[in-house]
Chain A
Amino acid sequence: MIQLVMDILSWPLLMAGSAFVLIGAFGIWRLPDFYSRLHPAGLTDTMGAGLILLGLLLQAEAAMVAIKLLIIAVFLLFTSPTTGHATARAALAAGLRIWQAPGHGKADGKAGAAGSGTESSTPGDDGA
């Protein structure tokens, strides 16, 4: 009985987590440039991993397993922004410019401030 309740609770979580991972992967493929692709990548390791871990937590039979799943979640919380920041910073340091939607040059967007670098792959409104 308990097992049935746990299944009913955990399967939607696992499915939703998987959906976020898939949408994240789809977004990485679909978005136009390096910087914007960082955002869907964040979907996979926040909601994607989070919901899957939560679903697995409900399936965990031993307390030790549950504790380990929680510790994985905590580590992800520290490592994923670190790697995201490191890759973005490296791209900025290398002079990669951001892609901007055509006609969307925000006055405060300092797209060119990072130095003369590579051209943006899709030349939109580059004035910044």
Chain B
Amino acid sequence: MNVDGKEDGEKDGGMSGYRPIIHGIGLCVALAACWLLLSGYFQILLLALGAGSVAFCVWIAMRMDLLDHEGVPLQITWAALRYFPWLMWEIVKANIDVAKRVIDPALPIAPSLFDAPVSQKTDLGQALYANSITLTPGTVAVDLDHGVIRVHALHDDAADGVLDGEMDARVRAVEGPG
């Protein structure tokens, strides 16, 4: 599904073997936007310094073989933006729940450590899923190995929230087909 596949041929390339121009351009745009937004100065000298910095960073990323679907994951941008509001709302609900339990005099917690299945195919998707679990208070992704994620949950409701698989399915959808 990626549009890249341009051959550069000046490096041995290893297992990737191509120089993904599209991801390089994507990284350029993102870095240039960062520079402009963070500096806010539009004099020639500072713009030139910014252009030099962007070129240098992209060159380093190229040498490290990071300009691929994992280092610059452009392919999931729109799906990730749709996933984000749902994740935010889950985080808000989980925050309120954990805060209530923490200040409850009875301290209604029952921590557990359990394994849950992971349906994402790519490392990027699995990392997104694991980080989503950790970002949601009440659950922390402790380990990820061969399609199984080990989660520490503060109480059974949080554990069931992971095991019901909704977040898993939504991250799988962000990943897209293929």
Contact = CB atoms under 8 A, between A and B. Distances in A.
Interface stretch (B16-24, B50-58, B70-78, B92-100): B92-100
- Sort A-B residue pairs by CB-CB distance and give the 9 closest, nearest first: A27-B102, A81-B134, A42-B137, A47-B95, A81-B131, A109-B112, A101-B110, A104-B110, A39-B154
Interface of A: 20, 23-24, 26-27, 30-31, 33, 35-36, 38-40, 42-43, 46-47, 64, 67-68, 71, 77-78, 80-82, 84-85, 88-89, 92, 98-101, 104, 106, 108-111, 113-114
B114 A39 contact: no
Interface stretch (B117-125, B140-148, B164-172): B140-148
B114 A26 contact: no
Contacts of A78: 131
Interface in B82-140: 91-92, 95-96, 98-99, 102-103, 107, 109-115, 130-132, 134-140
A68 B40 CA distance: 11
Given A36-B154, A47-B95, A23 B109 contact: no
A85 B142 contact: yes
B38 interface: yes
A93 to B, nearest CB: 9
A36 B154 CA distance: 6
B81 interface: no
B102 A110 contact: no
A77 B87 CA distance: 11
A46 to B, nearest CB: 5
Contacts of A92: 142-143, 150
Chain A binding site: helix, strand, loop or mixed by DSSP?
helix
Contacts of A88: 134, 140-142, 152
A98 B38 contact: no
Contacts of A30: 102, 107
B44 interface: no
15 contacts: A30-B102, A31-B107, A35-B142, A36-B152, A38-B152, A39-B98, A43-B137, A47-B92, A64-B40, A67-B37, A81-B134, A84-B140, A98-B152, A106-B156, A110-B114
Contacts of B99: 20, 23-24, 27, 43, 47
Interface residues of B, number: 38
A125 B132 CA distance: 29
A110 B115 contact: yes
B140 A35 contact: yes
B113 A81 contact: no
A40 B142 CA distance: 16
A101 B109 contact: yes
A40 B152 CA distance: 13
B109 A42 contact: no
Contact of B38 (A47, A68, A109): A68
Given A36-B154, A43-B102, A47-B91, 12 more contacts: A38-B140, A39-B139, A42-B136, A42-B138, A43-B98, A68-B37, A68-B38, A78-B131, A80-B135, A81-B135, A88-B152, A106-B112
